[in-house]
Chain A
Amino acid sequence: GENVEQHPSTLSVQEGDSAVIKCTYSDSASNYFPWYKQELGKRPQLIIDIRSNVGEKKDQRIAVTLNKTAKHFSLHITETQPEDSAVYFCAATMNTGFQKLVFGTGTRLLVSP
Chain B
Amino acid sequence: DVKVTQSSRYLVKRTGEKVFLECVQDMDHENMFWYRQDPGLGLRLIYFSYDVKMKEKGDIPEGYSVSREKKERFSLILESASTNQTSMYLCASSLGQDRGPAYFGPGTRLTVL
Asked whether A and B interact, the reply is yes
Query: Contacting A46 at CB < 8 Å: which of B31, B42, B102, B106?
Result: B102
Number of interface residues of A (CB under 8 A): 22
**0 or 1 for each of A43-68: is its CB under 8 Å from B? (1 = yes):** 11110010000000000000000000
Q: Is A99 a contact partner of B104 (Cβ separation < 8 A)?
A: no
**Are A45 and B98 also in contact (CB < 8 A) when A99-B31, A105-B40 are?**
no
Decide yes or no: A102 and B59 within 8 Å by CB, A32-B98, A44-B43, A91-B100 being known contacts: yes
B41 close to chain A: CB less than 8 A:
yes
Select one of B48, B90, B107 contacting A99, CB under 8 A: B48
Q: Contacts A32-B100, A34-B100, A43-B104: A103 and B90 contacting too (C-beta < 8 A)?
A: no
Q: Which of A66-113 contact B (CB under 8 A)?
A: 89, 91, 93, 97-106
Contacts of B59 in A (CB 8 A): 102
Rounded to whole Å, the gap between the CB of A21 and the closest CB of chain B is: 13
Say what secondary structure dominates the interface of chain A.
Answer: strand
Q: Considering the complex, give the chain B residue whose CB is closest to the CB of A33.
A: B100
Bound-state CA distance A97–B49 (Å) is 12
Q: Is the CB of B104 within 8 A of A44?
A: yes
Contact B99–A34 (Cβ < 8 Å):
yes
Q: Which of under 10, 10 to 19, 20 to 34, or 35 or more describes the interface residues of B?
A: 20 to 34
State whether B43 touches A89 (Cβ < 8 A): yes
Assess A98 versus B100: contact at CB under 8 Å? Given A44-B43, A103-B44, A106-B42: yes
Contact between chains at A98 and B99 (CB < 8 Å) = yes
Complex contacts, B56 vs chain A, CB 8 Å? 99-100
Q: Is the CB of A100 within 8 A of B42?
A: no
B34 within 8 A of A: no
B50 at the interface (CB under 8 A from A): yes
Contact A43 B106 (CB under 8 A): yes
Q: Mark A5-41, 1 if CB is under 8 A from B, else 0.
A: 0100000000000000000000000001010000000
Within the assembled complex, what's the spacing in Å between the Cα atoms of A106 and B58? Answer: 19
CB contact list, B82-97 vs A, under 8 A: 90, 92, 94, 97
Supplied contacts A44-B90, A101-B100, 8 more A-B pairs, CB within 8 Å? A43-B106, A46-B101, A98-B99, A99-B48, A99-B50, A99-B56, A101-B45, A102-B59
